[in-house]
């Protein structure tokens, strides 16, 4: 297909179609409205289904019902809408239904604002609804990554029968840049999924019940143990992290999403000035790449965590470096983005302090 | 002499199971009518039920079809999601009055308004049964519940909602009928309505809802026979039986 100049939301929508998604249920909310708009046109062209739900509550329950067929289904929303979806996502996790949710995060709390933010890190990674469960959360740092992760999201959702969220800060949704959307691989559904609903006839009368209700506590504990074992498997196999110039770095910036991209420019500039600085960026924020952070401990003297919120990832960064490295934080909130110069200034301050403590610089 | 079977377990009723419902509860009758319909139309193995939150949450323990569990009130949205992907399969929701007319009012109105090709069995017993007898949107004026200890007062709690009439005011739905499960004389109508609601779906006619007036002897604090009489004398005057919408 080659590279095309596209808007983030539209590229994400097209990538979902290329990944084999034919069923979209959604509700308008800024800044992700182009996804349902694009889907309402394109899905019709490719023989899929688009439903404008009456609310995010309904949209998320539609993907619950749709996902039980084993087909690739998705919804998209932004922060306040995701809060409404948290009920269904808990059921979806408990009922082990594969779905993909795109969250183009805007600034909160409450109605907040419509500009970019990363203030839903906790909501996405710390259990979005009630109960003992986890969700896979991917955090793209560029439009190309978002497009590539769309395919991965559907693959992971179906591999593990788990909800997967593509957590895009508003920048990813609203920028335009050149992307390549490779023709993806859908899922061959000529054979019905063994667990899926609606195939009782094909299964010779054997039925399926997709539920999360287990009134017997021993039965529920066994069910939750199964979910937990699945999550340990995911933790083992599916973490993903980029490390940039960290080998000799004294100060390492930790950041995810768009902030990671901004921080990379700061790293390049500071390297040109002679500072030994690097970047660590989780591409998958749930499960979190703790081991990659731990690997920084021998050479690194300081971690600077930079986010578009008041430091929601800090607890994972600290846990990753086993509380053995000093970690400081710089962030902006409310729709404000940390700039390259702000990050560089913060790094220079840290290097000055380190040299006062007797570092190499 | 040849044996003549006059009554037996429907094939769709799982063999050997008994319901958890209270003595005199009409859920068992309504379940049976669904099973007979699935048998007679020979659709059991292409049908998926949506189990509600409420007394019927465990109905998949009795009716032998595929089932999806839905959060409280969301069954019409879950059914929409499924049916749009599998239009060749049948799907029904089974919802109580708290589920459908209170927490799920948004979902039912919009599924009806899109005329989703689904079948909804709406069981109206004018009370929250599973949680122990609180006021429902359909609780009658003056009716005592654990949250209206002096009887429902419209000044404080509004008037009972007539769901069938409300949904019939929409242009889109195909079929809406209110029936009763209280008396033997009502059961023919109950069965006919359920059968029609499934047939409509098979013929792709769109949204069909059967409202079934039902008893809750336990939470009404009545013997089963008294409860049936109470339904006839109090519910039917406010919730008249009949067809409110039929596109045929």
Read off the pLDDT of residues A274-312 as tens digits, 9 standing for 90 and up.
999 999 999 999 999 999 999 999 999 999 999 999 999
Q: Is A28 on the interface with B (CB under 8 A)?
A: no
Average confidence (pLDDT) over B200-228 = 98
Task: Collect all residues with Cβ–Cβ distance below 8 Å to A272 and sequence separation of at least 6.
Answer: none
Contact A302, A326 (CB under 8 A): yes
Residue A203 burial (C-beta neighbours within 10 Å; 0-12, 13-18, 19+): middle
Task: Collect all residues with Cβ–Cβ distance below 8 Å to B168 and sequence separation of at least 6.
Answer: B176, B244, B245
Contact A164, A153 (CB under 8 A): yes
A192 has pLDDT over 80: no
A189 has pLDDT over 70: no
A229-270 pLDDT, tens digit each: 999 999 999 999 999 999 999 999 999 999 999 999 999 999
At A251 the pLDDT is 98
A130 has pLDDT over 50: yes
At A217 the pLDDT is 98
Contact A50, A40 (CB under 8 A): yes
B137-148 pLDDT, tens digit each: 999 999 999 999
Model confidence at A48, pLDDT cuts 50, 70, 90, reads: very high
φ, ψ of residue A79 in degrees (nearest 5): -30, -60
Strand-pair partners of A76: A102
Q: Among all residues of chain A, which has the CA nearest to that of B75?
A: A61
What DSSP designation does B99 have? I
- Which residues in chain B (55-94) have CB-CB distances under 8 A to chain A? 57-58, 60, 64-71, 74, 77-86, 89
Joined together, the tokens standing for residue B138 give 């359909």
Distance from CA of A213 to the nearest CA of B (A): 8
The residue among B77, B95, B130 with the most chain A CBs within 10 A of its CB, best to mutate, is B77
Task: Collect all residues with Cβ–Cβ distance below 8 Å to A75 and sequence separation of at least 6.
Answer: A24, A25, A26, A56, A59, A60, A62, A63, A85, A99, A101, A102
d(C-alpha A26, C-alpha A221), whole Å = 33
Q: Is B14 on the interface with A (CB under 8 A)?
A: no
A46-50, A186-190, B52-56, B220-224: least confident range: A186-190
Q: Among all residues of chain B, which has the CA nearest to that of A86?
A: B71
Model confidence at A361, pLDDT cuts 50, 70, 90, reads: very low
Distance from CA of A112 to the nearest CA of B (A): 25
Average confidence (pLDDT) over B71-93 = 98
A191 has pLDDT over 90: no
Average confidence (pLDDT) over A155-181 = 96
At A321 the pLDDT is 98
Number of Cβ within a 10 Å radius of residue A279: 24
At the fourth CATH level, the homologous superfamily of domain A4-197+228-236 is Thiamin diphosphate (ThDP)-binding fold, Pyr/PP domains (3.40.50.970)
φ, ψ of residue B211 in degrees (nearest 5): -90, 125
What DSSP designation does B56 have? G
d(C-alpha A119, C-alpha A256), whole Å = 12
C-beta atoms of A58 and B67 within 8 A:
no
Q: Is B103 on the interface with A (CB under 8 A)?
A: no
At A1 the pLDDT is 65
φ, ψ of residue A11 in degrees (nearest 5): -65, -40
Delimiting residues of CATH 3.40.50.920 domain(s) in chain A: 242-356
Average confidence (pLDDT) over B74-87 = 98
Per the prediction, chain A carries an average pLDDT of 95
Q: Degrees (nearest 5) of the Cα angle B24, B28, B33? A: 135
Closest partner residue to B66 (CB to CB) among A71, A207, A215 is A207
C-beta atoms of A210 and B46 within 8 A:
no
A325-338 pLDDT, tens digit each: 999 999 999 999 99
Average confidence (pLDDT) over A136-149 = 97
ipTM score for this prediction: 0.97
Q: Degrees (nearest 5) of the Cα angle A59, B51, A220? A: 95
Delimiting residues of CATH 3.40.50.970 domain(s) in chain A: 4-197+228-236
Give the CA count within 13 Å in the CB-facing half-sphere of A330. 23
At A358 the pLDDT is 62
Return the CATH number of the domain spanning residue range A242-356.
3.40.50.920
Distance from CA of A174 to the nearest CA of B (A): 28
A100 has pLDDT over 50: yes
Residue-range domains of chain B with CATH: 27-246 (3.40.50.970)
φ, ψ of residue B236 in degrees (nearest 5): -60, -35
Contact A157, A98 (CB under 8 A): yes
At A127 the pLDDT is 74
At A316 the pLDDT is 98
- β-pairing verdict for A136-138 and A284-286: antiparallel
d(C-alpha A153, C-alpha A91), whole Å = 19
Distance set, CA B6 to CA B3, B9, B232 (Å): 10, 11, 28
- Which residues in chain A (62-101) have CB-CB distances under 8 A to chain B? 62-69, 71, 73, 87-88, 91, 95
C-beta atoms of A212 and B69 within 8 A:
yes
Q: Which residues of B touch A199 (CB under 8 A)?
A: 66
B33-57 pLDDT, tens digit each: 999 999 999 999 999 999 999 999 9
d(C-alpha A301, C-alpha A84), whole Å = 42
At A11 the pLDDT is 97
């Amino acid at each position: 297909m080659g590279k095309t100049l596209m808007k983030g939301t539209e590229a994400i929508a097209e990538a979902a179609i290329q990944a084999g998604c034919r069923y979209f249920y959604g509700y308008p909310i800024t800044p992700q409205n182009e996804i349902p708009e694009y889907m309402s046109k394109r899905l019709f062209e490719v023989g899929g289904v688009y439903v404008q739900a009456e609310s995010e509550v309904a949209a998320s329950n539609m993907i619950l019902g749709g996902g039980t067929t084993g087909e690739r289904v998705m919804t998209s929303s932004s922060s306040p809408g995701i809060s409404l979806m948290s009920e269904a996502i808990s059921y979806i996790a408990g009922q082990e239904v594969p779905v993909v949710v795109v969250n183009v995060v805007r600034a909160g709390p409450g109605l907040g604002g419509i500009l970019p933010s990363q203030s839903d890190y906790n909501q996405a990674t710390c259990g979005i609804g009630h109960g003992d469960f986890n969700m896979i959360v991917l955090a793209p740092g560029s439009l190309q990554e978002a497009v590539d992760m769309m395919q991965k999201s559907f693959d992971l959702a179906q591999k593990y029968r788990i909800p997967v969220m593509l957590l895009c800060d508003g920048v990813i949704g609203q920028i335009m840049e050149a992307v390549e959307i490779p023709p993806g691989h859908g899922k061959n559904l000529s054979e019905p999924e063994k667990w899926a609903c609606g195939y009782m006839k094909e299964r010779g009368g054997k039925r399926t019940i997709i539920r999360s209700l287990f009134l017997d506590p021993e039965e529920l504990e066994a069910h939750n143990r199964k979910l937990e074992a699945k999550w340990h498997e995911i933790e083992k196999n599916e973490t993903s992290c980029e490390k940039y110039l960290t080998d000799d770095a004294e100060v390492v910036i930790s950041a995810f999403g768009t902030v990671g991209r901004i921080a990379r420019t700061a790293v390049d500039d500071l390297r040109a000035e002679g500072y030994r600085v690097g970047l660590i960026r989780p591409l998958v924020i749930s499960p979190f790449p703790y081991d990659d952070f731990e690997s920084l401990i021998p050479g690194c003297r300081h971690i600077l965590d930079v986010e578009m919120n008041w430091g929601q990832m800090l607890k994972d960064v600290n846990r990753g470096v086993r509380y053995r490295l000093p970690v400081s934080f710089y962030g902006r909130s409310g729709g404000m983005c940390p700039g390259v110069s702000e990050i560089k200034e913060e790094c220079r301050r840290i290097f000055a302090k380190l040299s006062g403590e007797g570092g190499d610089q | 002499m040849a044996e003549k079977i006059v009554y037996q377990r429907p094939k769709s009723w799982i063999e050997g199971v008994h319901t958890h419902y209270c003595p005199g509860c009409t859920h068992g009758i309504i379940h049976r009518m669904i099973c007979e319909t699935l048998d007679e139309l020979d659709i059991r193995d292409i049908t998926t039920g949506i189990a509600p939150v409420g007394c019927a949450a465990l109905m998949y323990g009795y009716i032998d079809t595929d089932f999806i569990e839905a959060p409280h009130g969301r069954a019409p949205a879950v059914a929409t999601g499924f049916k749009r992907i599998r239009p060749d399969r049948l799907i029904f929701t089974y919802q109580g009055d708290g589920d459908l007319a209170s927490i799920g009012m948004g979902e039912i109105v919009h599924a009806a308004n899109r005329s989703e090709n689904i079948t909804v069995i709406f069981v109206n017993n004018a009370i929250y049964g599973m949680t122990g007898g609180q006021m429902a949107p359909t609780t009658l004026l003056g009716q005592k519940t654990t949250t209206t200890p002096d009887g429902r007062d419209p000044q404080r709690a509004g008037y009972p909602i007539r769901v069938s009439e409300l949904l019939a005011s929409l242009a889109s739905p195909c079929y809406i009928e209110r029936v009763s499960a209280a008396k033997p004389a009502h059961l023919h109508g109950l069965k006919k309505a359920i059968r029609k609601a499934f047939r409509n779906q098979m013929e792709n006619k769109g949204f069909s809802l059967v409202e079934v007036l039902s008893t809750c002897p336990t939470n009404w604090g009545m013997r089963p026979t008294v409860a049936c009489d109470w339904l006839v004398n109090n519910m039917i005057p406010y919730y008249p039986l009949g067809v409110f919408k039929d596109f045929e």
